[in-house]
Amino acid sequence: MTTTNEAGTPAAAAPGTGAVPGAHPETLPDRDPRSPVAYDAILLVSFGGPEGQDDVLPFLRNVTRGRGIPDERLEEVAHHYRHFGGVSPINEQNRALQAALQEELRSRGVDLPVLWGNRNWDPYLADAIRDAHAAGHRKILAVVTSAYSSYSGCRQYREDLAGALEETGLAGELHIDKVRNYFDHPGFVTPFVEGVREALQRTHDQLGPDGDITRDAHVLFVTHSIPTSTAVTSGPPDAELGEEGAYGAQHRAVADVIMASAGAMSDVGTGGSAAQFAAVPWSLVYQSRSGAPTTPWLEPDINDAIEALAEHGTKAVVIVPIGFVSDHMEVMWDLDEEAMETAQEKGMYAERVATPGVHPEFVRGLIDLVQERLASPSNPEGGTPCSRPALTPLGPWYDVCRPGCCANPRAVKPAVAGLAP
């Protein structure tokens, strides 16, 4: 067996340890799927969003496809979109990310096109794949706009890609892999560290000379709630990462490292306050719950958390949307409208930190992730053990998803970029 890189295995899983979470070496096929590949195109894979009032209902029908949710119910969710003219910012953000990724590759002398396709809106994945094939591409590396392990954020995209291959009749013609989940990659984490530090600095100033940031402020790391039944099955089946599964464990590990780094960064012109930042209390909370009220989802909801903190005398909250890569509708509505209003009602000072978006560190980080996987003359590290940066003890995460990883709660479907099934 090749030792090209430990690409399929988290750092915590030292070679030779029998109890490696999620490692199934016996199921590896003949050709190690973790070996570098001469990819000929990069595919940015995202959720998609409506771009006008007429798009809103068709978009929501796509999102909830196969679940028979009546339009009247969808119209309840639609009002978030309607409020902003029926336009989600997510597509524009992805166009900007696509262009930034292309420019980063060009500046490194890597001649690969960055294509773009969505799960729920134009440009759809099937169209992107059809165009890629027509342009002569055969080996595609997907970069998904979701950093964590969950059904929605990982396996569902892998199923969507397999479905797009099926729909276009290109299964067997096109090979599609995906870069590892990058929740703890420095490119994803660093923009949040900067944002938290700046927000805590302003919060510190706001609290004034009588304030004590470690007593009066609280950092709320927030991510998308998911049903508890799919949280527990997120990540490899035998990972044993607790009731919230890999999804919860990854978010907690990221929050931990952000807090430690926000306090550790240099303290120019802050009068020494940054050293206290690591001691500010924090919690992981959830947003955007949907589905039947009887189905348990991850809690607490961010609004309930803000109210509870207010009861305990907390005067300021810093909201950090670590679950998302851009300031899309879930951020604009659920945080900037709803959570901010809750904080305001309670008379609290509140700030919402930016998501990575097209932060240069994030763009560089995503292209570093591409280069980890690329066998080409332009990648000096390709084909040899390459650096796989990861800031938490959980990572670096798997390049190739383990069998049964992030199980589909409704059905078993074909999926790319994983070890079968």
Nearest approach, Cβ of 284 to ligand HT9 (angstroms)? 14
With respect to ligand HT9, which residue has the nearer C-beta, 18 or 70? 70
Known binding-site residues equal 88, 157, 224, 330
Any contact of residue 152 with ligand HT9 (CB under 6 A)? yes
Any contact of residue 291 with ligand HT9 (CB under 6 A)? yes
With respect to ligand HT9, which residue has the nearer C-beta, 90 or 415? 90
Any contact of residue 150 with ligand HT9 (CB under 6 A)? yes
For residue 251, give the amino acid letter.
H
For residue 33, count CB atoms less than 10 angstroms from its CB and return exposed for 0-12, middle for 13-18, buried for 19 or more. middle
Q: How many CB atoms lie within 10 A of CB 310?
A: 17
C-alpha distance from residue 18 to each of 14, 302, 310, 400 (Å): 9, 40, 47, 19
With respect to ligand HT9, which residue has the nearer C-beta, 37 or 176? 176
Q: Which of residues 75-104 bind ligand HT9 (CB under 6 A)?
A: 77, 88, 90
Any contact of residue 124 with ligand HT9 (CB under 6 A)? no
Considering only 330, 334, 351, 399, the residue that binds ligand HT9 (CB under 6 A) is 330
Binding mask 51-80 for ligand HT9 (x = CB under 6 A): ---------x--xx------------x---
Nearest approach, Cβ of 282 to ligand HT9 (angstroms)? 20
With respect to ligand HT9, which residue has the nearer C-beta, 185 or 224? 224
Distance CA 258, CA 256 (A): 6
Which residues does residue 174 pair with via DSSP β-bridges, in sequence order?
171
Any contact of residue 246 with ligand HT9 (CB under 6 A)? no
Nearest approach, Cβ of 152 to ligand HT9 (angstroms)? 4
With CB under 6 A as the contact rule, which of the stretches 131-139, 322-330, 344-352, 384-392 interacts with ligand HT9? 322-330
With respect to ligand HT9, which residue has the nearer C-beta, 200 or 254? 254
For residue 416, give the amino acid letter.
V
Any contact of residue 388 with ligand HT9 (CB under 6 A)? no
Considering only 41, 42, 47, 137, the residue that binds ligand HT9 (CB under 6 A) is 47
Q: How many CB atoms lie within 10 A of CB 268?
A: 6
Any contact of residue 321 with ligand HT9 (CB under 6 A)? no
Long-range CB contacts (within 8 A, 24+) of 200-203: 200/262, 200/274, 200/277, 200/280, 200/318, 201/270, 201/273, 201/274, 202/351, 203/316, 203/318, 203/349, 203/351
Instruction: Compute CA 346 distance to the chain's CA centroid, rounded to the nearest angstrom.
Output: 30
Which residues does residue 381 pair with via DSSP β-bridges, in sequence order?
none
Which residues does residue 287 pair with via DSSP β-bridges, in sequence order?
224
Q: Which of residues 210-229 bind ligand HT9 (CB under 6 A)?
A: 224, 226
- Cβ contact 110:101 at 8 Å: no
Query: For 47-185, where are the alpha helices, taking DSSP H only?
Result: 53-63, 71-83, 90-107, 125-134, 156-167
Report which of 84, 49, 237 is spatially closest to residue 155, judged by C-alpha positions.
237
With respect to ligand HT9, which residue has the nearer C-beta, 4 or 64? 64
With CB under 6 A as the contact rule, which of the stretches 147-155, 210-218, 261-269, 387-395 interacts with ligand HT9? 147-155
Which residues does residue 371 pair with via DSSP β-bridges, in sequence order?
none
With respect to ligand HT9, which residue has the nearer C-beta, 77 or 174? 77
Any contact of residue 49 with ligand HT9 (CB under 6 A)? yes
Element (H, E) at 197: helix 186-207
With CB under 6 A as the contact rule, which of the stretches 149-157, 234-242, 253-261, 366-374 interacts with ligand HT9? 149-157
With CB under 6 A as the contact rule, which of the stretches 172-180, 268-276, 325-333, 399-407 interacts with ligand HT9? 325-333
Q: What angle do CA 374, 254, 415 make, to 5 degrees?
A: 45
Nearest approach, Cβ of 196 to ligand HT9 (angstroms)? 20
Distance CA 315, CA 415 (A): 47
Any contact of residue 234 with ligand HT9 (CB under 6 A)? no
Known binding-site residues for Fe(2+) equal 224, 330
Tokens, residue 163: 């479905």
Contact residues toward ligand HT9 (CB under 6 A) are 47, 49, 60, 63-64, 77, 88, 90, 145-146, 150, 152-153, 224, 226, 290-291, 323, 328-330
